[in-house]
Structure formats: structure tokens, C-alpha cells
Amino acid sequence: MNYFLKLIDDKFLQGHTRSVKAKKNILASLVLKGLSIVIGLVYVPLLLDVFDKERYGVWLTVSSMVLWFNFLDLGLGNGFRNKFAEAIANKNTKLAREYVSTIYISLGAVSLGLIPVFLIVNSFLNWNKLLNTTVVANSELSLLAIIVFLSFIFRFVLQLIGAILSADQRPAINNSFNLIGNVISLTLIYIVGKGMKVNSLPILGLILSMAPIAVLLVASIFFFRRDYRQYIPSFKYFHIKHLRVLLGLGIYFFFIQVTSIIILYSTNFLIAQFCSIQDVAVYNVVQRLFSVGTMLFVIVMTPMWSAITEAYSRNEFGWIKNSMNKLLKLALMLSVVTMLLLIASKPVFKLWIGNRLVIPFSLCLVEALRTVVYMFFGPFVTFLNGVSKIKLSVYLTVVETVFYIPLAYVMSVTLHMGIIGILLAAMIIEIPLRVCQPIQYHKIINQTASGIWNR
């Protein structure tokens, strides 16, 4: 026990102040994310039992489609995170509060304007056709969409407390919100779905959607009354000039977000359209398994974003180089773990979901490769985001956006590759971006970047 405590002290409580703060958050996040992974693994067989695989596919597709509206923050969230981190690093409390007030009021106004627009559009949508299903009535799907959308709107604003915590290099606390929300949702779903035998999509969707919102609301009130009282949003501190600043930086993040939304959040929709709604359930089970390595890697990278922002603003390039080398070594280690998970995937699925779904090994192989690629290039993405040098990434992601869906259709439908074709299309269009990111990192860190490489 003493050896274990000494090991923690040596590895996590020694070194540069910024590094120690990041490592403490990483250690706490590992514990929280480990619990979240367990909850997530329990979720899948429970929801497959409460729903059937087609209704489960419907839920996954609707909830992911609503996330498309994330682009409506115009990249303000990420722009705010960097600017807020810079303000508190320079101990400029007034400027930090102005940024907080500007972002909350701006996104609040956008959210209120979206509600009537969505309700009008939703009344004309044929959800059965959109989701390629007849197992659920269109009226039930429409009600589910309203519930999920309204919950998204509330979360759209309330999740800003997470951006503040992340900018303050306290992402572990932000990670706890998701865990608490999932525990509440899981408990209620078990009681209502398993115990009371309710399998209504709107009712269960309401439970799954509202629990996380309740957690974020309580967290926002708590932190603004205690740790961040000096940053409480106020109309007095709203400044249109700061909105222009956040948009000036955020607009680049906006274009990158649009690509992420199209490639990541549209996957379920494309699978439902090009394959079947049941295949959505199959893909999400595979994706959830291999996301274990990704989530562990994200735990480490999350505090590094704002830490890199702070280090870069102080010209501490040596610290950045050292941190990036460690991240790349971690990526290699987790890639090996991912491959081992691939080898063991068949018995793992058997133990986890039994005979509820048939999982092709070829699908597991492609998803494992996508995970490895993500982890190796993730550090470069985090660095470029942290130093706000993303203009080149914007240009390349716009090209990705144009070609992704046509290529996904050709590979999935024309070439009869199904789900695998959609996933491979996403990997192929990312090749130019993946090649350029490490090149740009080395140019910037060695202070030889110029032109588009330094913007």
C-alpha cells in the first residue's frame, strides 16, 4: 500500500505545477471514466431488453440526429474556452466575466429562437421515412424528437459550465456530471422499463434526456455560487465586441464542428438510410466497445488543451514538446490494448450482450483501426486547437464535408459494403488532414511555421 501511494506521489504529485494539475485531473478522470464505462456496458443489454433492437436503433438515431444542431453555437464554445483560459491565466477577472456573460447570453438567445423553428419543421416531417422504420408510429417518433430536441436545447446552454471547468483545467469535475446523469438514468430506466414493463419511446426518451440536464443545472448553480461567483453571467457584462472576438476565433472551430457533425453524428442516420435501422444497434454496440480506449485517451487529452493554451501563451515550448511525446507514447500503448480487445472481441460480446445481436468480426476490425488512427493523431489535434492554429484544418475539413456522403453511398450501397463502407469512407476522406496535422505541429513548435501553417 505504501509503495502504491509513493508511486502516485512520484508520478502524479511531482513536477511542473501545470503538469501536476493536469495529472491530478487525469487520475480523477480515470476513476470517473472507468465507472462511466461500466455504466455504459450495463446500459446496452438493459436497453436492448427494454426496447427491441429496432426501437433501440430508433433511439440511437434520433438522439444522434438532434446533436446536428451543435453547429449552431458557431464554434463559440471552443472559442470561449480558449479566450477564457487566456483571461484567467493573465488574472484578468473582469475580462473573464465578460466572456462568460457574452457566451451565456448569446447561446441562450440562439436556443430560445430555435424552439419555435423546430416545432414548426417537426410537424411536417415524416419520421418513419427518415428513420427507415415502420415499427413505431410517426406520432410517437415526432413526440420523441420534440423531447430529445428540447433536452438538447437546455443542455446546449447548461453545458457551458463544463467549458468553464475545462478552461480552468478541472475537466475531472466536468466528467463527473456525465457519470452522475447516467447513474440516475440507468436507475430510472431499470425501474420504469424493466420493473414496470414500460417500453414507450417518448417516456424512456424523457428519462434518458432529462437526468443529465438536472445534473448540469444543479452543477451550474453550485459552482456559480461558490468557485466562480466572480464570473456569474450578467447582462451588464455582455459586450458585442467580445462576441466578435469569440466568433473570429470560433468561426474556424465552427467549420470543424460541422465536419464532425456530418461524419460522426450522421453515421447512425446514414446506416439507417443505406443499410437498416437494426444495423444502427449493431454498429453502436461495436463502437461502444472500442470507444473504451478512445475514452481513456480523451481523459488525458482533455486537460492538455487548456494547459497547452497556457503554455503557448507563455512561450514554454519545452513543456509542450515533452507533453506531446508522452501523449504519443500513450497512444501507442492504447493502440496495443485496442488490438488485444479486437482479438478478444467475440467472447467479450458473448459475455456482454449474449445472443441479442450478431456482430461481424470485419466490422470490429474496421472500428479498431479507426480507433488507432484517432489516438495517434489526437495529440496533434489537441495542440492545434489549444494554440488556435486551425485555419488549414478548416480548409481540409470543408473538402471532407463535400465528399463524405457521396463516397459513403458509393462504398456502402453501390459496392455493397454496408456499414463497413460508411466507416471506410470516413477514414479515406480524412487522409489529407491526418498527413498535414503532424507537419503543422512540428513547424509551429520549432517556430518555422509561416503562411497557412501558422494561422
204-225 pLDDT tens trace: 888 888 888 999 999 999 999 9
440 with 453: CB under 8 angstroms? yes
Predicted confidence at residue 22, as pLDDT, reads 64
Predicted confidence at residue 1, as pLDDT, reads 42
Report the pLDDT averaged over residues 114-136: 89
pLDDT in tens, 343-360: 999 999 999 988 888 899
Predicted confidence at residue 55, as pLDDT, reads 85
Q: Is the pLDDT of residue 368 over 80?
A: yes
CA torsion 53→56→62→63, rounded to 10°? -140
Predicted confidence at residue 104, as pLDDT, reads 92
Report the pLDDT averaged over residues 45-56: 84
CA distances to 6, 304, 305, 329, 391 from 14, in Å: 11, 17, 20, 20, 36
CA distances to 52, 90, 389 from 99, in Å: 46, 14, 21
Q: How confident is the model at residue 372 (pLDDT cuts 50, 70, 90)?
A: very high
Q: Is the pLDDT of residue 87 over 80?
A: yes
pTM reported for the whole predicted model: 0.71
Q: Is the pLDDT of residue 194 over 50?
A: yes
Report the pLDDT averaged over residues 424-442: 93
Q: Is the pLDDT of residue 364 over 90?
A: yes
Most confident of 197-206, 275-284, 387-396: 275-284
Q: How confident is the model at residue 68 (pLDDT cuts 50, 70, 90)?
A: low
Q: Is the pLDDT of residue 263 over 50?
A: yes
Instruction: Give the CB-side neighbour count of residue 125, counting CA atoms within 13 A.
Output: 21
Q: Is the pLDDT of residue 269 over 60?
A: yes
341: number of Cβ within 10 Å: 17
Reading the block at residue 441, the C-alpha cell is: 505541429
Reading the block at residue 109, the C-alpha cell is: 438567445
Ordered by start, the domain boundaries in the chain are: 20-454
CA distances to 31, 110, 159, 257 from 104, in Å: 30, 10, 10, 19
Task: Give the span between the Cα atoms of 283 and 285, in whole angstroms.
Answer: 5
Predicted confidence at residue 4, as pLDDT, reads 38
Predicted confidence at residue 252, as pLDDT, reads 65
